[in-house]
A and B are shown apart, each in its own frame.
Chain A
Amino acid sequence: MRASAALAVELDRRRPGRTVVRALRSAAPLTLVPRAGAARPEAGAAAVVHLVSSAPAPLGGDELELTVRVGPGARLRLHGVAATLALPGHRSVPSHSVVRIEVAEGARVDYLPEPTVVTARAWHRAELRVELAGHAVARCREVLVLGRSGEPAGRLHSAVHVRRAGVPLLRQSVDLGPDELADSPAVLAGHRVLATEVIAWPDVVEPAGGDWWALSPLAAGGALATALAPDAVTAQRLLANARAAHPAAADLAEPAW
């Protein structure tokens, strides 16, 4: 299956400070659902859009693409609603998903998908590319789970690229599979869940950390929160520890629904 979905939000010209969804194109299995009330946004509030998977996906051979544009000064929160299960397909080829996010001057995006579970025999390649304008801010979370409970993991290659004004802030990829490498104390140290959150904020960040989590300032600005855990719930809690150590913690708190 090939699917290409797109989302664009921008400030409303007639109502200053209000972000509106300007364009939204779902393509099964990538279904974008604006939260109720998005037609009457509050000043300064983010447009909230849910990313719903409307079919079991990705399957081997799938090519899924999502393009997101956040216009100057606009704010977007893009949420997942359920874990993504990477499943094996009929053919022995990988599934491939690409998410591209462009954030214009003065804009903010929070990209918070739910965990990706790499089921047995799956072969999935995921790519996230974020392009920030000089004064844009973004945070992007990734939670990778090796297999469902008690299940060996399939193969996963996941790459994250974040640039600000063309300067690379973060590039990293992880290759996980059913081999013993994840058990290595140098890779996942026997953990089943790897969670990261790029926090591309202007604040100067001091390194912080505890048992299996860290908040680390990146060389060219912004920070990376990393956590390793036996399960996704613990991983999220450790990521919350890292966010709490960030100078913009109040800004990064999870909204109560």
Chain B
Amino acid sequence: MTDPPSPAALILADSRFPGGGHVHSGGLEQAVSQGLVSGLDDLAGFLAGRLRTAGRLAAVFAAAAAHAAARRVRPAHWVALDAELDARTPTPAQRAASRAQGRGTARAALVAWPSPVLADLLAVTPRPHHAVLVGAVHGSTGGNAGQAALTTAYLAVSGPASAAVRLLGLDPFAVNAVLARLGPALTELAAEAARTAADRPADLPAPSSPALDLLAEAHDRHHQQEVRLFAS
């Protein structure tokens, strides 16, 4: 983790990256509408929990994908990573959100960083999970597993944090400070995810996020009845 971050990592983590991430709140919109998050303290708790569950899962798969991309794995490996992440994502709403962001990121990545690895991956999984795609871009552009994990874990909290500014009208400086306080947790989680990057896909950790799963399904149900700002 002492290596300087790759430029690709900065571009992928930038909120101006045209991957379509800005339409996802990571469950925050539903949490706000159910009254679970109404201020900065709640937001800090939401983000800390999201990081340790959904964020950790994404980081684990991004690290594994970066490692796989650097080794130029066979296409069957991408299929296995995809199936294993599916098995760790029990709700259709979460799978749809992950694949929508994966597809959006893939379209931008194909133009920015075309590579045989990316072509292999998209040939067998045309709508990849977001974490796998982000990891593969890192691995195919010289980035390492820890950087891929850090980018992905950061995206797991930065999206909901900026959504909180729009949904709750919170002070952007204060929200940014909440995000900054997650720094040590982000670093630790990325290092931990890097340690399992070379594991077989079946053996990768599988942290669940029960409340996020229920919020995602509730968001989907309500989305059909009323207008929402975010797709998830």
Contact = CB atoms under 8 A, between A and B. Distances in A.
Interface of A: 159, 167-175, 180-181, 183-189, 191, 194, 196, 207, 209, 212-214, 216-220, 224, 226, 228
Q: Which 6 A-B pairs have the closest CB atoms?
A: A184-B49, A186-B49, A219-B86, A168-B87, A172-B208, A185-B36
Nearest to B204: A171
A207 B86 CA distance: 16
B42 A218 contact: no
B212 interface: yes
A171 B217 contact: no
Given A168-B83, A173-B205, A187-B209, 17 more contacts: A167-B83, A168-B87, A172-B206, A174-B210, A184-B45, A185-B31, A185-B49, A186-B49, A188-B211, A207-B220, A207-B221, A209-B218, A216-B90, A218-B87, A218-B90, A219-B83, A226-B90
A127 B83 CA distance: 21
B159 to A, nearest CB: 13
Interface residues of B, number: 41
Nearest to B221: A209
B50 A184 contact: yes
15 contacts: A171-B87, A171-B206, A174-B208, A183-B45, A185-B31, A186-B27, A186-B54, A186-B209, A214-B214, A214-B218, A216-B213, A224-B91, A226-B90, A228-B210, A228-B214
B202 interface: yes
User: Looking at A159, A173, A186, A194, which has the most chain B CB atoms within 10 Å of its CB?
Assistant: A186
B176 to A, nearest CB: 19
Given A168-B83, A181-B52, A226-B90, A189 B217 contact: no
A159 B212 CA distance: 18
Contacts of A224: 90-91
Given A181-B48, A181-B52, A184-B45, A220 B83 contact: yes
B214 A213 contact: yes
A220 B215 CA distance: 22
Contacts of B47: 186
Contacts of A171: 84, 87-88, 202, 206
Contact of A217 (B42, B92, B206, B214): B92
A220 B86 CA distance: 8
A189 B213 CA distance: 11
B83 A228 contact: no
A159 B36 contact: no
Nearest to B213: A226
Contact of B46 (A175, A185, A209, A212): A185
B89 interface: yes
Interface in B76-114: 83-84, 86-93, 95
A141 B191 CA distance: 33
Interface centre among A187, A196, A220, A224 (most CB of B within 10 A): A187
Contacts of A209: 214, 217-218, 221
A170 B202 CA distance: 11
B207 A185 contact: no
B47 to A, nearest CB: 8
Contacts of A173: 205-208
